């Protein structure tokens, strides 16, 4: 791969080959290793921790060139979900299979990421847990950090 800010590696998850991206995407990121992939690509983005405007530009322009490829995004973290909501072309022709939604305890402020599948976030309204008990303090309720319409705004794109 690429540079020491972003690691791209293949893993097998539940029998499915996925390409995992870990780290930050910026002006130095080289996506060319993804060109070697033939057939549908399952990109696991759970390890992406940050992205800046030049990284977004590189991402958008790279996938624009790969318009014919079938690409799936899985386990998108909040930083990626935010870009998908702000910039429709960020998703391009890829299919978003699952995203992580950030929950926070109203008592101890423990944070937890909850995986939401496409059939759940595509529903109107999104079929997500409104609240659940905090497993850490057991005194508070975990609730989505931010509004669901705002967080899942990428659905409209």
Partner 1 sequence: MKRSAKKSSTQDQSLLKTGLFSKEEASIFIRTGCAHLHSSILGSQDPTVAVSLNQLEGSPTSYSWEIAQTATPHRLTTSTDRNGVIENILSASSLAKRSQNRSRLHQVAEELLTNAIYHSYKNSDGSDKYDRREDAQLQSEECVLVRFAENLNGMNLIVEDQGGSLTLNDFQRAFERCYQRKNGREIGIETKHSGAGLGLFMVFELSAHIHVKVEKKKKTCFSVWIPDSQQFDPDTFSFNIFEE
Residue numbers at the binding site for partner 1 (CB under 8 A): 27, 50, 52-54, 56-57, 60-61, 64, 78-79, 82, 86-89, 102, 104, 109, 111, 145-147, 150
44: number of Cβ within 10 Å: 23
Helices (H), 96-140: 118-121
Minimum CB separation of residue 122 from partner 1 in Å reads: 20
Please give the full DSSP string across 59-84, using - where no structure is assigned: HHHHHHHTTTS-EEEESB-HHHHHHH
Q: Which lies closer to partner 1 via its Cβ, residue 16 or residue 52?
A: 52
Minimum CB separation of residue 78 from partner 1 in Å reads: 6
Q: Which lies closer to partner 1 via its Cβ, residue 1 or residue 87?
A: 87
Q: Which lies closer to partner 1 via its Cβ, residue 41 or residue 153?
A: 153
Minimum CB separation of residue 27 from partner 1 in Å reads: 6
For residue 3, what is the DSSP state? Answer: B
Q: Which lies closer to partner 1 via its Cβ, residue 110 or residue 118?
A: 110
Minimum CB separation of residue 128 from partner 1 in Å reads: 16
The H or E element that residue 50 is part of is strand 41-51
Q: Which of 26, 31, 19, 41 is nearest to 62 (CA)?
A: 31
């Amino acid at each position: 791969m690429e540079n020491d800010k972003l690691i791209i590696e293949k893993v097998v998850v539940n029998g499915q080959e996925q390409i995992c991206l870990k780290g930050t995407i910026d002006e130095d990121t080289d996506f060319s290793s993804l060109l070697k992939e033939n057939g549908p690509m399952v990109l696991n983005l759970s390890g992406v921790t940050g992205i800046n405007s030049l990284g977004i530009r590189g991402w958008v322009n790279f996938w624009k060139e790969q318009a014919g490829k079938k690409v799936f995004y899985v386990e998108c973290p909040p930083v990626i979900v935010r870009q998908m909501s702000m910039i429709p072309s960020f998703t391009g022709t890829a299919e978003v299979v699952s995203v992580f939604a950030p929950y926070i305890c109203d008592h101890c402020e423990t944070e937890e990421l909850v995986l939401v599948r496409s059939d759940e976030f595509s529903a109107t309204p999104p079929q997500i847990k409104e609240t659940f008990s905090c497993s850490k303090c057991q005194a508070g309720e975990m609730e989505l950090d931010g509004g669901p319409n705002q967080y899942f705004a990428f659905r409209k794109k």
